[in-house]
Amino acid sequence: MKVYGITNCNTVKKALDWLKANNVAYEFQDFKKLGVSTDKLNEWDAKAGYEKFMNKQGLTWKQLDPAVKESIKTKDDALQLLQQKTSMIKRPVIEDGDFLFFGFDEAAYAKHFNI
């Protein structure tokens, strides 16, 4: 299982604490240090749609120049921006087989991991 996120994100911290407390093994990829590939973003888009993981509620989106926000017309525009500004990806991203989840939801995690 792989978890993607940013180490100083409170939501990521909650998710990692939950996984540790429930003895769920994972590999962590820090977006700030390692980024995220175009292939991975395309994979997530194919499975869930980029709208599901493009966080427009966060500070990074809110601080974008209005012209940049207006320039996002297509999936490719959105994915290119997400690759440049990884902090706009809803976190954490949990990949476990066919399970793909964006954010932290204790009930969803418990259901998936049978806890």
Selecting among 3, 4, 5, 9, the annotated active-site residue is 9
- Which pTM was predicted? 0.91
Q: Which are the contacts of 94, defined by CB distance < 8 A and separation ≥ 6?
A: 1, 2, 3, 15, 100, 101, 102, 109
Domain ranges of the chain: 2-112
pLDDT at 115: 85
pLDDT at 70: 93
Q: Which fold has domain 2-112?
A: Glutaredoxin (3.40.30)
Amino acid identity of residue 112, one-letter, is H
Whether the CB-CB separation of 89 and 82 falls below 8 Å is answered with yes
Note the residue count of the chain. Answer: 115
pLDDT at 69: 93
For the chain, 115 residues long, the average pLDDT of each consecutive 10-residue run is: 94 97 96 93 96 93 93 94 94 95 96 91
Q: Is 65 a catalytic residue?
A: no
pLDDT at 25: 96
